[in-house]
Amino acid sequence: MDAGTAPSARMTAAPDRPVRRESLADLAATRRLAERVAAAARPSDVIALSGPLGVGKTEFARAFIRALARRHGKAPPDEVPSPTFTLVQTYDLGAVAVWHFDLYRLERPDDAAELGLDEALADGIALIEWPERLGGMLPRGRLDIALSYAGPGKPQAREAILTDRGDWRARLSDA
Ligand SMILES: Nc1ncnc2c1ncn2[C@@H]1O[C@H](COP(=O)(O)OP(=O)(O)O)[C@@H](O)[C@H]1O
Ligand SMILES: [Mg+2]
Protein backbone atom coordinates (compact mmCIF):
# COMPACT_ATOMS: atom_id res chain seq x y z
CA MET A 1 0.00 0.00 0.00
CA ASP A 2 1.27 3.45 -0.80
CA ALA A 3 1.58 5.17 2.57
CA GLY A 4 1.56 8.55 0.86
CA THR A 5 -1.98 8.27 -0.47
CA ALA A 6 -3.59 5.77 1.92
CA PRO A 7 -6.27 7.43 3.97
CA SER A 8 -5.08 7.87 7.50
CA ALA A 9 -7.46 6.60 10.13
CA ARG A 10 -5.61 8.74 12.60
CA MET A 11 -6.51 11.89 10.74
CA THR A 12 -10.14 11.08 10.10
CA ALA A 13 -11.18 9.47 13.36
CA ALA A 14 -10.33 11.48 16.44
CA PRO A 15 -9.74 9.05 19.28
CA ASP A 16 -12.05 9.19 22.25
CA ARG A 17 -10.26 10.87 25.05
CA PRO A 18 -12.09 10.39 28.31
CA VAL A 19 -11.45 13.19 30.71
CA ARG A 20 -13.05 11.48 33.62
CA ARG A 21 -15.95 9.54 34.94
CA GLU A 22 -17.77 11.12 37.84
CA SER A 23 -20.37 9.88 40.28
CA LEU A 24 -22.99 12.52 40.95
CA ALA A 25 -24.70 11.66 44.23
CA ASP A 26 -27.50 14.18 43.85
CA LEU A 27 -28.69 17.28 41.99
CA ALA A 28 -26.24 19.46 43.91
CA ALA A 29 -23.38 17.34 42.56
CA THR A 30 -24.66 17.73 39.00
CA ARG A 31 -24.81 21.49 39.55
CA ARG A 32 -21.24 21.54 40.88
CA LEU A 33 -20.02 19.72 37.78
CA ALA A 34 -21.87 22.25 35.58
CA GLU A 35 -20.23 25.09 37.50
CA ARG A 36 -16.77 23.60 36.96
CA VAL A 37 -17.39 23.22 33.24
CA ALA A 38 -18.76 26.79 33.09
CA ALA A 39 -15.61 28.09 34.78
CA ALA A 40 -13.55 26.53 31.97
CA ALA A 41 -15.86 27.45 29.07
CA ARG A 42 -14.93 29.87 26.30
CA PRO A 43 -16.64 31.39 23.26
CA SER A 44 -17.19 28.88 20.42
CA ASP A 45 -17.26 25.91 22.79
CA VAL A 46 -19.69 23.08 22.18
CA ILE A 47 -20.87 20.99 25.10
CA ALA A 48 -22.95 17.98 24.09
CA LEU A 49 -25.24 16.67 26.82
CA SER A 50 -26.51 13.18 26.16
CA GLY A 51 -28.50 10.67 28.16
CA PRO A 52 -32.07 9.51 28.61
CA LEU A 53 -35.10 11.61 29.40
CA GLY A 54 -35.11 12.99 32.93
CA VAL A 55 -31.46 12.22 33.62
CA GLY A 56 -30.52 15.86 34.25
CA LYS A 57 -29.37 17.44 30.98
CA THR A 58 -31.53 20.53 31.44
CA GLU A 59 -30.58 20.80 35.12
CA PHE A 60 -26.94 20.78 34.05
CA ALA A 61 -27.67 23.51 31.47
CA ARG A 62 -29.47 25.66 34.07
CA ALA A 63 -26.60 25.52 36.52
CA PHE A 64 -24.12 26.16 33.70
CA ILE A 65 -25.98 29.25 32.43
CA ARG A 66 -26.44 30.66 35.92
CA ALA A 67 -22.77 30.14 36.77
CA LEU A 68 -21.67 31.80 33.54
CA ALA A 69 -24.01 34.75 34.18
CA ARG A 70 -22.47 35.26 37.62
CA ARG A 71 -18.97 35.02 36.15
CA HIS A 72 -19.82 37.80 33.69
CA GLY A 73 -21.42 39.99 36.35
CA LYS A 74 -24.94 39.50 35.03
CA ALA A 75 -27.97 38.72 37.13
CA PRO A 76 -28.64 35.02 36.64
CA PRO A 77 -31.81 34.51 34.59
CA ASP A 78 -34.86 33.86 36.79
CA GLU A 79 -36.00 31.17 34.45
CA VAL A 80 -34.01 28.79 32.32
CA PRO A 81 -36.84 26.94 30.62
CA SER A 82 -36.28 23.69 28.82
CA PRO A 83 -36.30 24.50 25.08
CA THR A 84 -38.34 21.37 24.42
CA PHE A 85 -40.67 23.13 21.98
CA THR A 86 -38.64 26.16 20.88
CA LEU A 87 -35.60 23.88 20.31
CA VAL A 88 -33.28 26.75 21.24
CA GLN A 89 -33.09 29.43 23.88
CA THR A 90 -30.37 32.07 23.91
CA TYR A 91 -28.88 33.93 26.86
CA ASP A 92 -26.95 37.13 26.20
CA LEU A 93 -24.43 37.37 29.00
CA GLY A 94 -22.64 40.42 27.59
CA ALA A 95 -19.21 39.01 26.87
CA VAL A 96 -20.67 35.80 25.53
CA ALA A 97 -23.99 34.32 24.51
CA VAL A 98 -25.09 30.84 25.53
CA TRP A 99 -27.24 28.93 23.06
CA HIS A 100 -29.13 26.16 24.78
CA PHE A 101 -30.44 23.64 22.27
CA ASP A 102 -32.82 20.75 22.91
CA LEU A 103 -32.89 18.85 19.64
CA TYR A 104 -35.19 16.02 20.70
CA ARG A 105 -37.80 17.24 18.24
CA LEU A 106 -35.41 18.10 15.42
CA GLU A 107 -36.63 16.23 12.37
CA ARG A 108 -33.59 16.51 10.14
CA PRO A 109 -30.02 17.52 10.99
CA ASP A 110 -30.20 20.20 8.26
CA ASP A 111 -32.98 21.96 10.14
CA ALA A 112 -30.44 23.00 12.78
CA ALA A 113 -29.22 25.75 10.44
CA GLU A 114 -32.55 27.51 10.86
CA LEU A 115 -32.07 27.41 14.59
CA GLY A 116 -28.87 29.43 14.29
CA LEU A 117 -26.39 26.66 14.97
CA ASP A 118 -23.69 28.27 12.82
CA GLU A 119 -24.21 31.60 14.52
CA ALA A 120 -23.93 29.88 17.88
CA LEU A 121 -20.66 28.25 16.86
CA ALA A 122 -19.17 31.51 15.59
CA ASP A 123 -18.69 33.06 19.01
CA GLY A 124 -21.27 31.69 21.37
CA ILE A 125 -21.22 28.73 23.70
CA ALA A 126 -23.51 25.93 22.55
CA LEU A 127 -25.05 23.55 25.07
CA ILE A 128 -26.75 20.79 23.09
CA GLU A 129 -29.24 18.31 24.50
CA TRP A 130 -29.90 15.30 22.23
CA PRO A 131 -26.73 16.01 20.18
CA GLU A 132 -27.15 12.71 18.31
CA ARG A 133 -30.00 14.37 16.38
CA LEU A 134 -27.37 16.37 14.49
CA GLY A 135 -25.76 13.26 12.99
CA GLY A 136 -22.74 14.31 10.96
CA MET A 137 -23.50 18.01 11.55
CA LEU A 138 -22.45 17.73 15.17
CA PRO A 139 -19.30 19.84 15.52
CA ARG A 140 -16.18 17.73 15.98
CA GLY A 141 -14.43 19.84 18.56
CA ARG A 142 -16.45 19.57 21.73
CA LEU A 143 -16.86 18.25 25.24
CA ASP A 144 -19.21 15.30 25.45
CA ILE A 145 -20.99 14.77 28.75
CA ALA A 146 -22.98 11.54 28.86
CA LEU A 147 -25.29 11.28 31.86
CA SER A 148 -26.84 8.04 33.03
CA TYR A 149 -28.84 6.77 35.97
CA ALA A 150 -26.62 5.24 38.63
CA GLY A 151 -28.94 2.35 39.32
CA PRO A 152 -32.10 1.20 41.03
CA GLY A 153 -32.53 2.29 44.63
CA LYS A 154 -30.55 5.49 44.03
CA PRO A 155 -33.07 7.84 42.39
CA GLN A 156 -30.91 10.94 42.92
CA ALA A 157 -27.65 9.43 41.74
CA ARG A 158 -26.18 9.86 38.27
CA GLU A 159 -22.99 8.96 36.44
CA ALA A 160 -21.27 11.38 34.11
CA ILE A 161 -18.71 10.41 31.51
CA LEU A 162 -16.81 13.35 30.11
CA THR A 163 -15.06 12.82 26.79
CA ASP A 164 -12.64 15.42 25.54
CA ARG A 165 -12.90 16.05 21.81
CA GLY A 166 -10.96 19.26 21.95
CA ASP A 167 -8.64 20.78 24.51
CA TRP A 168 -10.81 20.33 27.57
CA ARG A 169 -8.50 18.00 29.45
CA ALA A 170 -6.04 20.74 30.27
CA ARG A 171 -8.75 23.31 30.88
CA LEU A 172 -10.78 21.18 33.25
CA SER A 173 -7.86 19.96 35.29
CA ASP A 174 -7.36 23.43 36.71
CA ALA A 175 -11.04 24.34 36.84
N1 LIG B 1 -28.24 13.97 40.37
C2 LIG B 1 -29.19 14.60 39.66
N3 LIG B 1 -28.82 15.37 38.61
C4 LIG B 1 -29.75 15.98 37.84
N5 LIG B 1 -31.08 15.93 38.06
C6 LIG B 1 -31.49 15.18 39.10
C7 LIG B 1 -30.58 14.50 39.94
N8 LIG B 1 -31.29 13.84 40.89
C9 LIG B 1 -32.57 14.09 40.65
N10 LIG B 1 -32.71 14.91 39.58
C11 LIG B 1 -34.01 15.34 39.03
O12 LIG B 1 -34.13 14.75 37.74
C13 LIG B 1 -34.80 15.66 36.86
C14 LIG B 1 -33.91 15.97 35.67
O15 LIG B 1 -34.70 16.64 34.73
P16 LIG B 1 -34.09 17.33 33.44
O17 LIG B 1 -32.85 18.05 33.77
O18 LIG B 1 -35.21 18.11 32.83
O19 LIG B 1 -33.76 16.05 32.54
P20 LIG B 1 -33.41 15.97 30.98
O21 LIG B 1 -33.18 17.36 30.48
O22 LIG B 1 -32.19 15.10 30.93
O23 LIG B 1 -34.59 15.30 30.33
C24 LIG B 1 -35.12 16.91 37.68
O25 LIG B 1 -36.45 16.79 38.15
C26 LIG B 1 -34.12 16.85 38.82
O27 LIG B 1 -34.59 17.46 40.01
MG1 LIG C 1 -34.00 18.42 28.87
DSSP state of 77: P
pLDDT reading at 16 higher than 90: no
42 neighbors 68 (Cβ within 8 angstroms): no
Compute the average pLDDT of residues 18-38.
94
| CATH classification of the domain holding 28 | 3.40.50.300
Instruction: Identify which ligand lies nearest to the alpha carbon of 56.
Output: 1
Q: Is residue 63 in a domain?
A: yes
For the entire predicted model, the pTM comes to: 0.91
Angle at 144 between CA 138 and CA 147, to 5 degrees: 120
Strand partners, 53: none
Whether residue 102 has its Cβ less than 6 Å from ligand 1: no
What one-letter code names the amino acid at 167? D
Q: Is residue 67 in a domain?
A: yes
Mean pLDDT, the chain, rounded, equals 90
**How confident is the model at residue 18, as a pLDDT?**
67
Q: Tell me the pLDDT tens digit for each residue of 106-115.
A: 999 999 999 9
Which domain covers residue 61, as residue numbers?
22-173
Choice from 24, 55, 59, 60 to test ligand 1 binding pocket (greatest atom count within 8 A of CB):
59
Q: Tell me the pLDDT tens digit for each residue of 67-103.
A: 999 999 999 998 999 999 999 999 999 899 999 999 9
